[in-house]
Structure 1
Amino acid sequence: MQDQRTTAAGGMETSFGFRTVEPGGKQPLVNEVFHRVANRYDLMNDLMSGGLHRLWKDAMVTWLNPSKREGWHVLDVAGGTGDIAFRIVEASQRNAHATVLDINGSMLAVGRDRAEKAGLLEYTEFVEANAEELPFAGETFDAYTIAFGIRNVPRIEVALAEAFRVLKPGGRFLCLEFSAVDMPLLDRVYEAWSFNAIPQIGKLVTGDAEPYAYLVESIAKFPNQENFAAMIGRSGFERVSFRNYSGGIATAHSGWKL
Structure 2
Amino acid sequence: MEAVRSLLRGVQERLRRHDLYLISAGITFYAAVALLPWAVISFRLLAAVVGAEQVVRLATAAAGALPDAHDPEGVVTAVVTTAVQLPWPLVAVAVLPATLWAEGLRRGFARVSTPGQELPPSGPGRTATWRVRLASLPLLLLAAPAVVLGLLHLARLLLRVLEPGGAGAVALAVYVALNAVWLLLSPVLLYAYRLLGPVRPSWRAALWASFGTGAFISGFSQGAVLFLAIPVDLGAPFGGFGAVGAAVAAGLWLWAFTAMAVYGYALGLEVDERSRAGGRHRTRGA
Calculate the TM-score normalised by the size of structure 1: 0.25
The structure number with the bigger radius of gyration is 2
Structure 1 or 2: larger helix share?
A: 2
Calculate the TM-score normalised by the size of structure 2: 0.24
Structure 1 or 2: larger strand share?
A: 1
